[in-house]
Amino acid sequence: MLTALSDATRSTCGGKAATLGVLLRAGVPVPEGFVVAASSVAETVAGTRPEIVAGARPEVEAGLRSAITRALDRLGDPVVAVRSSASDEDGRHASAAGQYESVVGVRGSDGVCAAITTCWDSARAARVAAYRRQTGQDNAPGMAVLVQRVIEAEVSGVLFTPQRPGGSTRIEAAWGLGLAVVSGTVTPDSYDVTADGDVDCVVGSKRTRIDLTPESGGVGTSLVGEQARTARTLQDSTVRVLAGMGRRIAAMLGGPQDIEWAIADDAIWILQARPITAAVPASRTVDQVVPSRALAGVPGSPGLVTATARIVGSPDDFHTVRPGDVVICPCTDPAWTPLFTIAAGVVTETGGALSHAAIVAREYGIPAALAIPNATTHIRSGDRVALDGTAGTITVL
């Protein structure tokens, strides 16, 4: 019914938990936790997996609830993150980045059980179905759920280990929890670390941060002070330590890895590791020539397309998008994934190349440029545009 994270295997606990179990057994600093095995989902709805039962919301049955209460007590009743660990998640060809739900900042058995049902239920979301069709997956996923102590991070982010021998490590970082980096709600600091340890840094515009809200539970977003917005989140020495940890984890797991990490009280924690599913475009260099009429940002997904721009401010605007449009938006979240199946490309005003939106764009094979300030005001719906995801630019023609 429940499995200690250190004992997790892919067959019963899904990809995310199984990989963290491997890392824990190897001595990598991973927050402790436990896994609700995928079989527990089947037991909740008439013996059939709820992700394929129309209209039936799964609930945590009494025996499982009691086991969860005991497991939380053994951990000391901490604030936890309740995270999906689906059988098709974190694979070599499809990451499912951001497609399933996670609930961060939960405490107590009732809250954790409610969050578990949210994770289970997300397997039936429209965005998951669209993603699975796009990536050629036919069978409904088994859904295990990982319950893990939350690291109250001062700085956190994502790193991509070198994708070829002698290549660089790419790291993106922001203040607070890593939700801001993976969701693309901030433009993070970006660090490139060569095999020789040289560090190149481009400081982002970190206007907001996400942190735990102990009074009300969950997480909240707050403004970052003016000085911290343009201050480096990481010193070169820490960047090199992160890059070294990334290389060791990649060697341990047998290939280039997409790794989420957090730093609290000067300690580095690894929160997730999964194979890199598609190559990241090279960073735009300072001396790179940008066409005079182009708006420039961060290269997110390679490719060049000429199409009609469509400004999308919220899900209320989804109906305006036509097949072949370039979607221009402030940022995206997982609910926007179905748009990626019809869009010719994506442009955002914030975000980094390691965000979930960029990862999914690369998996779908559509160009993306991120962190183009005021793109939604400089460009109008109906404009003819040329999007160059390799260079990270968009030009109104």
Neighbouring CB atoms inside 10 A of 224's CB total 19
Tell me the pLDDT band of 51, cut-offs 50, 70 and 90.
Answer: very low
Q: Which of 38, 140, 151, 139 is nearest to 85 (CA)?
A: 38
Q: How confident is the model at residue 376 (pLDDT cuts 50, 70, 90)?
A: very high
Only one residue has tokens 């995310």, namely 16
Give 106's pLDDT tier (boundaries 50, 70, 90). Answer: very high
Q: Which of 149, 164, 182 is the last residue of a domain?
A: 149
> Pairing mode, if any, of strands 208-212 and 219-223?
antiparallel
Same domain for 138 and 163:
no
**Per-residue tokens: 365:** 């094979």
Q: Please check the confidence at residue 42 and state whether its pLDDT lies above 50.
A: no
The residues, any chain, with a CB within 8 Å of residue 27's CB and separated by 6 or more, are none
Where in 19-110 does DSSP place strands (E)? 33-36, 80-86, 102-106
Residue 107 above 60 pLDDT? yes
Q: What is the pLDDT of residues 270-281, one digit of tens each?
A: 999 999 988 898
* Residue 121 or residue 208, greater confidence: 208
Per-residue model confidence (pLDDT) at position 356: 87
Residue 91 has pLDDT above 70, yes or no: no
In a domain, 193, yes or no: yes
Q: Buried b vs exposed e over 105-144: b needs ≥16 C-beta within 10 Å?
A: bbbebebbbebbbbbbbbbbbebbbbbbebbebeebbbbb
Taking residues 271-300, what's their average pLDDT?
83
Please determine, for residue 54, whether its predicted confidence score (pLDDT) is greater than 50: no
**Do 389 and 302 lie in a common domain?**
yes
Residue 37: pLDDT band with limits 50, 70, 90: confident
288 in any annotated domain = no
Using DSSP's 3-state secondary structure scheme, residue 36 falls into: strand
pTM: 0.90
Other beta carbons within 10 Å of 358: 28
Per the domain annotation, does 285 fall within a domain? Answer: no
What's the chain's average pLDDT? Answer: 89
**Where residue 40 falls among pLDDT bands split at 50, 70, 90?**
low
The pLDDT score that the predictor gives to residue 101 is 84
Tell whether the model's pLDDT for residue 84 goes beyond 80.
yes
Find the distance separating the first CA and the last CA of the chain, reported in whole Å: 59
Instruction: Tell me: do 332 and 386 sit in the same domain.
Output: yes
Percent of the chain with pLDDT over 70: 89
Give the pLDDT band (50/70/90) at residue 149: very high
pLDDT digits (tens, 9 = 90+) for 220-250: 999 999 999 999 999 999 999 999 999 999 9
Q: The dihedral of CA 148, 153, 158, 162: what is its sign?
A: negative
Domain final residue pick, 149, 166, 197: 149
What's the number of domains the chain is made of? 3
Tell me, yes or no, whether 14 and 122 share the same domain. yes
Q: Is 356 a catalytic residue?
A: yes
Confidence of residue 126 (pLDDT cuts 50, 70, 90): confident
254 found inside a domain: yes
The pLDDT assigned to 108 comes to: 94
Confidence (pLDDT) at 47: 38
Q: Which of 149, 164, 184 is the last residue of a domain?
A: 149
Q: Is the pLDDT of residue 290 over 80?
A: no
Q: Tens of pLDDT along 311-362?
A: 999 989 999 999 999 999 999 887 788 888 999 999 999 999 999 889 989 9
Do 347 and 386 lie in one domain? The reply is yes
**Per-residue confidence (pLDDT) for residue 53, from 0 to 100:** 46
* Domain encompassing residue 349: 294-396
pLDDT of residue 288: 64
For residue 215, being part of any structural domain is answered with yes
Lowest mean pLDDT, pick from 50-54, 341-345, 381-385, 388-392: 50-54
Distance CA 37, CA 8 (A): 9
Looking only at the bridges linking them, the beta strands covering 345-348 and 326-329 are: parallel
